[in-house]
Structure 1
Amino acid sequence: MSRFELDPQLARDCVVVGDFPVCRLLLMNDSQYPWFILVPRVQGVEEIYQLDETDQQQLLFESSYLAEMLQVLFSAEKMNVAALGNVVRQLHVHHVVRYSTDAAWPAPVWGKHPARPYTDEALSEVMQKLKKSISDMPSFQWAHTDV
């Protein structure tokens, strides 16, 4: 079995938060939107149907858990959850918290505005907020122990 490697563009554009049992959780480094990405840690997979049935079910669980948590945590008006893969082929599922007042509303966030990277302080705030919410999932492994 091949060792999992994160697509280079995802690695450049995101901050690694940690790992659920199947997926790596990333934070898109764009402070305009709370925007998270789940990437199944299975090398060479581009589509959900390419995962085995157990991993498909776990991906759905992790995605649903994340979407609900983000909805509550950020008081989302709408959650955008999507797996496109037109630019980055590696299977990844976007979870974007949306508000009718955000910079791209009502359009999709992709390519609408240049990214505005998080400041160190804002990134720390988001991570602390996540830490409080994900603490009820003992199988989650944080990428950074200082979170």
Structure 2
Amino acid sequence: MLSFHLDPRLEAETLPVGPLGLCMLRLMNDRRWPWLALVPQRAQITEFHDLTPLDQTMLTFEAALVGRVLKRETKAETINTAMITNVIPMFHLQMVARTAGDPLWPEPVFGRGGSLPYEEGEGERFAETLRQALLAS
């Protein structure tokens, strides 16, 4: 049986928020949008349909929980959710908090422009806020 290892690009482009039941939750290091990635801790999964039915159910549960917390904590109007694995082939579900008037509203943010990394400590503080909100949910 193969062991799970986070894709090096995902590791480099994200900050840890914490483990969920199935997924590790990561914060994209891009302060333009509050943007999370749920990464199922399963080896060699590249598509949603590669997950077992039980893992698909667990991912859906975790995505709903994270989406509610992300929307509440950011006061977003909507959460854009996508499973795009063209660039990074490791399966990950992306959730982006969106508000009218943000730099690309109403267009999708995926693959648009270069990222703007969080300032020193800013991403870690936001990750901690999310961690505490998830624990309280």
Amino acid at match of 1:129: T
Cα distance change on mapping 1:16 and 1:125 into 2, 3 Å: closer
Question: Structure 2: where are the runs of 5+ without partners?
Answer: none
User: What is aligned with 1:67?
Assistant: 67
User: What is aligned with 2:17?
Assistant: 17
SS of match in other structure, 2:43? coil
Q: Judge conservation of contact 1:81–1:93 (CA < 8 Å) in 2.
A: yes
**Count of residues paired in the alignment:** 137
User: What is aligned with 1:8?
Assistant: 8
Tell me how large the CA RMSD over aligned residues is.
1.3
CA distance in 1: counterparts of 2:3 and 2:101, whole angstroms:
41
Q: Judge conservation of contact 1:29–1:115 (CA < 8 Å) in 2.
A: yes
Deviates more, 1:29-38 or 1:98-107: 98-107
Q: Judge conservation of contact 1:16–1:26 (CA < 8 Å) in 2.
A: yes
Deviates more, 1:47-56 or 1:31-40: 47-56
- Deviations 1:106-144 (Å, cap 9, x if unpaired)? 11112322111111232233123213301236xxxxxxx
What TM-score do you get using the length of structure 1 for normalisation? Answer: 0.87
SS of match in other structure, 1:86? coil
Question: Structure 1: where are the runs of 5+ without partners?
Answer: 138-147
Amino acid at match of 1:27: L
CA distance in 1: counterparts of 2:83 and 2:39, whole angstroms:
10
What TM-score do you get using the length of structure 2 for normalisation? Answer: 0.93
Answering whether residue 93 of structure 2 is matched by residue 93 of structure 1, we say yes
CA distance in 2: counterparts of 1:41 and 1:76, whole angstroms:
28
- Could you tell me how far 1:61 is from its partner in structure 2? 0.3
CA distance in 2: counterparts of 1:115 and 1:68, whole angstroms:
24
- Deviations 1:21-54 (Å, cap 9, x if unpaired)? 1001010000110000001000111111111111
CA distance in 2: counterparts of 1:84 and 1:111, whole angstroms:
10
- Could you tell me how far 1:10 is from its partner in structure 2? 0.8
Q: Judge conservation of contact 1:104–1:113 (CA < 8 Å) in 2.
A: no
Question: Superposition pairs for residues 107-126 of structure 1, below 5 Å?
Answer: 107-126=107-126
